Structure 1
Amino acid sequence: MSIAPFNASTYLGDRNTANLVGLKSRLDTLTNQLSSGKVGTTYGSLGTGRTTSLSAHAALSALDGYDAVITNATTRVTLANASVTQINTLGDGMRRSLTASNSSTIANTPQAARNSLDAAVDALNVDLAGQYIFGGRATDSPPVAATDTMLNGDVAKGLAGLKTLISEQKTADLGLPTGSGRVSSSVTGTPANTVTISEDGTGAAGTETRANFGFRLLSATSSNTTAIAASATTAATAPPVTFTLAKPPAEGDRLRIAINQPDGTQSFVDLTAKASSSAGATDTMPVFATAAEAQTYLNTRFAPSPVASIQGPTDLGVQANFGTGTPASLTLGVNGTPVAGDTVTVSVAMRDGTTQTLTLTASPNADPTSTTEFSLAGGPQAVANSLSQAVTNALKGTASTSLAASSASRAAQDFFAGSQSAGLAPRRISTDGNGYAEAASTKTVIWYTGDDTSSDPRATATAQIGANRVLNIGVQANEAPIRKVLAGLAMIAADAGTTAVSGTPEAQRFSALADHAGTLLVSNNTTGGVPGIASDLGLAASTLSDTKMENRTNRNALQGSLDGVENISAEDVTAQLLQLQTQLQASYQVTSMLSKLNLVNYLS
């Protein structure tokens, strides 16, 4: 770099020129600012405000991203909430229809239930831009099977539907061909004047059957204990169930164990084999190197529990081993002469937690086929025979109505508890009819093909709505409250209906079916059931809306900060521009005057 020599004669001119160039540059800058409204076109032109501008732009860009996520999530939540609300409406509508049904309308009730089930399936198969909302993490295909496939199966693929499962469950519960609900009545003793009522089944097979099917014998009472003495019930006994496996469950394998509850219902414990399983985990089990180790673990874990069944993938060879127990029983001793109007009451329980009371009344000449009366004709032995027959008739009558309805309800709930995960298919009756098959069926329709691995359906879809805020907005069609409504609709839709007049056994059967379906369809509370899912979605929608409002407020604040750094005040710039123009004009005039100055002009 060279330094020009100093020339005193040109100093004033050079300085003047530099001042004019500086003023002109300043004039151009102010002119550009006034036309664009901005301080400058580069961050460098912002001076110390460049840091504020950079951070504000980054924050605004992030808010744009969050708002885009919120918009998409709001649409998704709105669609999901609409579908859930429709499910609740369909269930409630069918429940009210069942309550109001009479002999002239019940013939059409199955078709109405079918229509409602169709609408429910459509609601659960809703999609947003090709992504199916109710499949959890699996969003690429409709998660719920078609109604016809669910009810009737897929003949081409050899898959059984709900109607087949209901038929099998009825056969198992009623104990066909006898049909007395696997409880029998007989006359015993010498002389033969004692009626013995006992649950059916002997040996290990009988223990397994009693753990799963038919009535449970509770108690009996007599209004005239002198004539007919009812004994206390001898409770059933059952040794602990043990398990054997051909090989240990591998990582991800799933087992389903059914446990009998004190009220007679069954609950499922679903276990997933995981190497990371922790002690005390309720839904996982460790991965073991050998089948013996896995058996020991399962036997120890479930030793205190009244196991009803176990189910797993076919290749595990899992098996439940029942020991020899004893059935519950009681006696009715005809020790005197009953009088007309005396009653005997027998109580039995069903596998859904409900009980039935069979009341038999002494009558001078009762019909041998009566389900409510026994005959007083003859001596104690004849009365005992008539009472025993009446008990059998009552058991068969109740089995064909209330127990059959309970069977349909159980089969429907088992069907909708099924999953595509190996080991969690709907339970099927074993080939020997004594219990449920241990190997998960591969010949049953799987109604739900979405994701079933998450313990929290909401966590299957998330929305990043802030730097440190993630909102769970997932839903699954197989959530328990939705399954209950679907089971209630499906068990009615699977029925043939009836045109029988009120009071007939067939009308009583359908009435019991409607009662059981109504129990599943009840979902009118705000703390659980389908409304609980709607409440979760409503809360998510509210959070999205509030967050969007917060983002708008933050955006305005950031924009204000940005405007203070990047934007100019038109009034200030205009004033500066006018002042600069005046300065520049004056400088030009002085320069012009100086350029014309010579000694003659100076002396003059």
Structure 2
Amino acid sequence: MTTITPFAAGSYLTTRNAAQLTTLKSQLNDLSTQLSTGLTAQTYGGLGSGRSTALSAQATLSALTGYAAGITAAQTRTNVAVTSLTQVATLGIDARTTLNNGLQSTPVNATAAKANALNNLQAALDTLNQSVAGNYLFGGEDSSTQPVLDADTILNGTKKPDGSTDQMGLTEFVSSQVKADLGANGNGRLTQTYLASNPTEITLADDPSSRAKPQSGFAITSVSAVPTPGGIAATRALDSTGTSATVTIDVNQQPAAGDSLTLTLQLPDGTQTKVTLTAAASGTTPASSSTGFAIGADKAETANNLNEALKSALSASASSTLPAYSTAQAASTFFSAPNPTTTAANTVVWYQGENGTTDPLSTQSVQVSAGSSVQIGVRANQPAISNVLAGLATVALGMPNSSDPNAAALYSAISSQAQPFSRRPIPAPARPRPVRSRACRIRSHSSASRRRACRTPRRPTRPPRIRFRTHSTALNRRPPRKSSPSCWTCRTDFRRATKSRLRSPSCRWSITSAEVRPSLLESAPVVRDRLGVARRRSSACR
């Protein structure tokens, strides 16, 4: 029920003033609230027609705040990853420097290089386990699992409760590869035969695995003898399947001192090494020599001496070249795991992170705007990282002991095999020095003016040569076939003593003479050429 208040004459003005005072008080309260809170209204409804704009702006600000937070987190993650990768590269460079410094004194520095590389390998493995806010950086998509096993497990493997080996570590894996390449006789899997029933003949055969992929041991590629005519004969033949080569050495007659026998052997990496034995007079060469053999009293004794010398030479060659390759190959295979050779069934798998076929960068990304994202993923088993680890492992596990008789040769072989961190950076090309353009023939009377002369670089195409000839009243020149990109006006002269100035579109030289009106550039320095024509150089032509 609606009640109509009584209306008295003259009360309208009082009622209106009271309403206006109430409105003003409400406005004052709103302004005080805005002043104290810094907000236009306490609710979006109080914004009126601007509430839709405020709501959309609030959503945009929230999204931008989220993008900024993601970018900040990504920057932190990226900075830590870059620092870790820089540390790994520094460790590789440090090992390379130690190797290069040790070439002058191999027995002394082999132990130092070995210890330094081992320490660097352990530090590099620890570096790859860096995390930010509980998220591992080098595990690809899997940021919750430690991507790299600890150094002790990687090097020594795991053990069963009874103490036997459960999974081979890197040390045992490399050792088994070296033994496999050396063979049971330690001569690169070669089979050497010398029978008493045929005392003047020696046979040497390589193993079929030396011609397989991957190759193991030595492969005989050639044999040659430089004997006295009718002396030592050496031949090489492949078997019917082409998987093995056999060398037959016959001592047909007594060799002369200085005669030699040379075997060429191929290593699994494709490089070759040679074994050369030289005949020497009896009593001048020890029986265990790896470089020569003694001439005996008869052919049988000479063949026996040659057989023993060949054993020593093959063992020395194998122990100084094959272990370096075997160690490098095993380390490279180990750090490229998982693969068919190194599986969890028999060998420790050092990388435990995600190992998909996608691009490592795409494994982690950060949204930087509504339609843009930046990829920041990385895996610890990427080739650039695993190559450095393999190089460090090659030095750490392949370096010889100081008492090894083949220490110098093995040190050199290890240095050449540990290639991932031994490559020197390509120097940046030097900036070309500016040269004086042949198109500019500025002549001056002072060295300072010559130094200020045009330094325009030479163009691929030389401008046409301009020839002058003098007449009694004029100087003629043959006009150029086309405009040169250089300032060809610098050597342009008057044509039949005309009073016009010749100027190139790209040059601001003004040419004057006694018959030509003065140049507008009165303050420009005057340079005289060999023809006596005064030229004023403007500030626009340098």
TM-score (norm 1): 0.58
Tell me how far apart the structure 1 counterparts of residues 47 and 381 of structure 2 sit (CA, whole Å).
58
Partner of 1:246: none
Q: What residue number does 1:473 align with? A: 376
1:368-418 CA-to-partner distances (Å, cap 9, x unmatched) read 433233556678887777666555433221111210222222222222233
Shifted more, 480-489 versus 224-233: the winner is 224-233
Which residue number in structure 1 is paired with residue 385 of structure 2?
482
For 2:16 and 2:239, how far apart are their aligned partners in 1? 118
Q: Which stretch has the larger CA shift, 393-402 or 21-30?
A: 21-30
Matched with 2:117 is 113
Deviation, 1:506, is: 4.2
- Structure 1 residue 28, shift from structure 2 partner: 4.1
Report the more deviating stretch, 84-93 or 222-231. Answer: 222-231
State the secondary structure of the residue aligned to 2:368.
strand
Q: In structure 1, what is the Cα distance between the partners aligned to 2:240 and 2:308?
A: 23
Of 169, 186, 190, the residue aligned with 1:161 is 169
Given candidates 189, 213, 217, the residue that maps to 1:214 is 217
Question: Match for residue 206 of structure 2?
Answer: 199
Amino acid of the residue matched to residue 512 of structure 1? A
**Is the contact made by 1:498 and 1:510 (CA closer than 8 Å) also made in structure 2?**
no
Q: SS at 2:54's partner residue?
A: helix
Q: How many residues of Structure 1 are paired with residues of Structure 2 in the alignment?
A: 415
Partners of 1:221 and 1:230 within 8 A in 2:
yes
- Distance in 2 between residues matched to 1:233 and 1:6, nearest whole Å: 135
Instruction: Answer yes or no: is the 8 Å Cα contact 2:139–2:379 preserved in 1.
Output: yes
Return 471-480 or 3-12, whichever deviates more. 3-12
| Separation in 2, partners of 1:342, 1:89 | 51
Q: What corresponds to 1:508 in structure 2? A: 409
Shift of 1:235: 8.8
How much does 1:471 deviate? 2.1
Matches within 5 A, 1:95-134: 95-101=96-102, 102=105, 103-134=107-138
SS in 2 for 1:466: coil
Alpha carbons 2:236, 2:245 under 8 Å: kept:
no
Contact 2:257/2:280 (<8 A) preserved: yes
Indicate the residue corresponding to 1:172 in structure 2: 180
Give 2:84's aligned residue: 83
1:463 partnered with 2:330 = no
Q: Distance in 2 between matches of 1:441 and 1:145?
A: 13
Residue aligning to 2:190? 183
Residues 1:446 and 1:41: Cα distance change in structure 2 (over 3 Å): same
User: Bigger shift: 59-68 or 125-134?
Assistant: 125-134
CA distance in 1, matches of 2:210, 2:398: 31
Shift of 1:18: 4.0
Q: Note closer, same or farther for the CA distance 1:17–1:123 as it changes in structure 2 (3 Å cut).
A: same
Structure 1 residues 514 and 57: alpha-carbon distance in aligned structure 2, compared to 1, 3 A threshold:
same
Distance 2:233 2:369 in 1: 75
Alignment of 1:270-289 (within 5 A): none
Q: Equivalent of 2:332, from 404, 410, 413?
A: 413
Following superposition of structure 1 onto structure 2, how do residues 298-337 of structure 1 map, counting pairs within 5 Å?
326-329=243-246
Distance verdict in 2 for CA 1:526–1:458, change over 3 Å? farther
Residues 50 and 357 of structure 1: CA distance in aligned 2, closer, same or farther (over 3 Å) = farther
1:493 is paired with a residue whose SS is helix
Counterpart mapping for 1:519-534 below 5 A: 519-522=419-422, 525=425
- 1:65 alignment partner AA: G
CA contact (8 A) 1:425 1:441 kept: no
Taking a change above 3 Å as real, the CA distance of residues 38 and 489 of structure 1, as seen in their structure-2 partners, is: same
Tell me the equivalent position of 1:313. none
Tell me the equivalent position of 2:61: 60
**Higher Rg:** 2
Residue 351 in 1 paired to residue 268 in 2? yes
**Residue 79 and residue 37 in structure 1: after superposition, are their counterparts in 2 closer, same or farther (change >3 A)?**
closer
Higher mean alpha-carbon deviation, 85-94 vs 480-489, is at 480-489
Distance 1:48 1:468 in 2: 30
User: 1:417, 1:426 within 8 Å by CA — same for their partners in 2?
Assistant: no
Matched position secondary structure for 1:77: helix
User: 2:402 aligns to what?
Assistant: 499
CA distance, structure 2, for counterparts of residue 345 and residue 456 of structure 1: 50
Pick closer, same or farther for the CA change 1:130–1:523 going to 2, 3 Å. farther
> What amino acid does structure 1 have at the position aligned with 2:120?
S
CA deviation profile, 1:341-384 (whole Å, cap 9, x unmatched): 55554332222343323344454455443323355667888777
Equivalents in 2 of 1:171, 1:391: separation in Å?
20
SS at match of 2:62: helix
Return closer, same or farther for 1:8/1:354 CA change in 2, 3 Å cut-off.
farther
**Could you tell me whether the CA contact under 8 Å between 1:200 and 1:210 is conserved in 2?**
no
Higher relative contact order by CA 8 Å / sep ≥ 6: 1 or 2?
A: 1
**Displacement after TM superposition at 1:77 (Å):** 1.6
- The one-letter code sitting in structure 2 at the alignment partner of 1:214 is G
Q: What SS does the aligned partner of 1:104 have?
A: helix
Q: 1:336 to 1:486 in 2, by over 3 A?
A: same
Q: CA contact under 8 A between 1:137 and 1:451: conserved in structure 2?
A: yes
Give the conservation status (yes or no) of the 8 Å contact 1:425–1:444.
no
CA displacement at 1:214 relative to structure 2: 0.9
Contact 2:210-2:216 at 8 Å conserved across structures: no
2:419 partner SS = helix
Deviations 1:479-529 (A, max 9, x none): 22222222232344345841227xx3244334433432x3243365599xx
Name the stretch that deviates more: 90-99 or 26-35. 26-35
Contact 1:359/1:372, CA 8 A, preserved across alignment:
yes
**Is the CA contact (8 Å cut-off) linking 1:132 and 1:141 kept in structure 2?**
yes
What is the distance in 1 between the residues matched to 2:258 and 2:346? 53
Aligned mates of 1:220, 1:8 — CA distance in 2: 137
Sort the Cα spacing of 1:410 and 1:491 in 2 relative to 1 into closer, same or farther, 3 A: same
C-alpha spacing 1:236/1:25, structure 2 compared with 1 (3 Å): farther
Amino acid at match of 2:142: A
Partner of 1:251: none
CA shift, 1:20, in A, is 4.4
Residues 182 and 215, structure 1, Cα contact 8 Å, conserved in 2? yes
| Counterpart amino acid of residue 328 in structure 2 | S
Question: What amino acid maps onto 1:508 in structure 2?
Answer: A
| Worse-superposed segment, 95-104 or 16-25 | 16-25
Change (3 A) 1:50 1:230: farther
For 1:344 and 1:183, the matched residues in 2 are separated by 17
Question: Which structure has greater helix proportion?
Answer: 1
Report the 3-state secondary structure (helix = DSSP H, G, I; strand = E; otherwise coil) of the residue aligned with 1:66.
helix
Q: Can you give the 5+ residue segments of structure 1 that lack an aligned partner in the other structure?
A: 238-324, 428-439, 528-604
| Contact 1:221 1:345 (C-alpha < 8 Å) held by counterparts | yes
Change (3 A) 1:235 1:13: farther
In structure 1, the residue corresponding to 2:275 is in which secondary structure? Answer: strand
5 Å-filtered alignment, 1:402-441, equals 402-419=321-338, 424=339, 426-427=341-342, 440=343
Q: What CA distance in whole angstroms lies between the structure 2 residues aligned with 1:71 and 1:461? A: 15
Alignment root-mean-square deviation, CA: 4.0
Mapped to 2, the partners of 1:459 and 1:58 lie a distance apart of 28
Alignment-derived partner of residue 47 in structure 2: 46
Residue type of the partner of 2:114?
A: P
C-alpha distance 215-236 of structure 1, shift in aligned 2 (>3 A): farther
